[in-house]
């Protein structure tokens, strides 16, 4: 198993956020951490021109793993825009030598409010679920056309969060999963047991930890992120060592991306990343 990180750890969820840190600074700090590989972040944050992107990574000795689509997959009115973003993201990943596209339903107001609370969260009825699956399928086709592996990320505060929704996705598609230890814990699942249960459909891994005291407050997803619900590996409620042992038992040989969702400008992303790396050394 190989480790990576990404601009998300610096609070970069959206490329057009006006207070994003400068991308050269983020790449410099990723290189300074010694991790050596990264997911590229939201399309439009790093340069998309292939030669410029490759040069920026090569100058710092960094390898591209892939990137993500973080869009309103649950809204059929956004399907065209989602596919357009996927095309840009996949072109960027392929140009940089990455191999994975992580597909994420962006938390909207309704489900963000019930993040981590399965009994309170509305599930998509059959027609809306079919619309979501159709958009996911179109994004997956774009990824495959670029030679990439599409994987779906169950994400806190989204319409793909809880175990019943994961099972529904696996039953209705042939797609593999990106399992995120922090988002699994946020959803009330045992990350180690979930990694084991879905070993046959595991395509990619995110390593993340959760502050149990912040989680217990029951805030909406974005409020919880601002309050620091995600923390360096080994400092929260996730059994990180157990997760690594399970991945080793499976013979998982892909990348595991260390992330710490945060509000831009908060804390010390490089310091926290170094603490996370020490926890898995």
Q: Do strands 230-231 and 255-258 pair parallel, antiparallel, or not at all (unpaired)? A: unpaired
**What is the average pLDDT score of the chain?**
98
Residue 206 has pLDDT above 90, yes or no: yes
Measured CA distances, 234 to 6, 48, 238 (Å) = 19, 35, 7
In terms of pTM, does the model score above 0.85? yes
**How large is the average pLDDT for residues 60-88?**
98
The single residue listed with the structure tokens 């983020």 is: 26
Digit-coded pLDDT (tens) for 207-228: 999 999 999 999 999 999 999 9
**Domains of the chain (ranges plus CATH)?**
2-279 (3.20.20.150)
pLDDT > 70 fraction of the chain, expressed in percent and rounded: 100
What is the model's pLDDT at position 223? 98
* pLDDT above 90 (res 177): yes
* Alpha-carbon span 63 to 9, nearest angstrom: 17
- Eight-class DSSP state of 5: B
Task: Give the H or E element holding residue 207.
Answer: strand 202-207
Distance CA 248, CA 94 (A): 28
Q: What pLDDT, on the 0 to 100 scale, is given for residue 271?
A: 98
Q: What is the pLDDT of residues 40-67, one digit of tens each?
A: 999 999 999 999 999 999 999 999 999 9
Q: Is pLDDT of 1 > 90?
A: no
Would you give the DSSP letter of residue 22? P
Q: Calculate the alpha carbon distances from 79 to 118, 175, 275 in Å.
A: 26, 19, 39
Burial of 216 (0-12, 13-18, 19+ CB in 10 A): exposed
Q: Please, are residues 281 and 33 in contact by the beta-carbon 8 Å criterion? A: no
Is the pLDDT at 149 greater than 90? The verdict is yes
Which whole number is the average pLDDT over 166-171? 98
Phi and psi at 113, nearest 5°, equal: -70, -25
Name which of 157, 147, 156, 159 is nearest 179 in CA terms.
156
Report which of 198, 194, 153 is spatially closest to residue 171, judged by C-alpha positions: 198
Per-residue model confidence as pLDDT tens digits over 126-135: 999 999 999 9
What letters, b where the CB count within 10 A reaches 16 and e where it falls short, cover 27-53? Answer: bebbbebebebbbbbbbebbebeeeeb
């Amino acid at each position: 198993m190989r480790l990576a990180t990404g601009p998300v750890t610096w609070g970069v969820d959206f490329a057009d956020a006006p207070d994003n840190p400068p991308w050269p600074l983020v790449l410099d700090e990723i290189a300074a951490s010694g991790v050596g590989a990264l997911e590229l972040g939201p399309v439009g944050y790093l340069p998309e021109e292939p030669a410029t992107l490759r040069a920026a990574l090569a100058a710092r000795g960094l390898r591209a793993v892939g990137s993500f689509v973080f869009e309103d997959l649950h809204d059929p009115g956004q399907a065209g825009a989602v596919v357009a973003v996927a095309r840009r993201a996949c072109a960027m990943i392929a140009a940089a030598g990455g191999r994975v596209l992580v597909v994420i339903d962006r938390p909207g107001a309704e489900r963000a409010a019930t993040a981590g609370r399965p009994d309170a969260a509305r599930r998509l009825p059959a027609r809306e679920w079919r619309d979501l699956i159709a958009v996911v399928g179109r994004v997956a086709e774009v990824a495959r056309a670029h030679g990439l592996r599409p994987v779906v990320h169950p994400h806190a505060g989204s319409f793909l969060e809880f175990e019943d929704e994961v099972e529904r996705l696996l039953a209705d598609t042939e797609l593999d999963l990106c399992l995120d230890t922090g988002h699994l814990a946020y959803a009330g699942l045992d990350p180690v047991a979930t990694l084991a249960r879905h070993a046959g459909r595991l395509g990619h891994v995110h390593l993340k930890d959760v502050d149990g005291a912040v989680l217990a407050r029951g805030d909406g997803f974005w409020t919880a992120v601002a309050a620091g619900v995600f923390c360096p590996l080994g400092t929260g409620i996730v059994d990180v060592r157990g997760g690594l042992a399970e991945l080793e038992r499976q013979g998982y040989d892909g990348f595991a991306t260390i992330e710490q969702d945060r509000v831009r400008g908060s804390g010390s992303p490089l310091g926290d990343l170094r603490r996370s790396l020490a926890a898995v050394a």
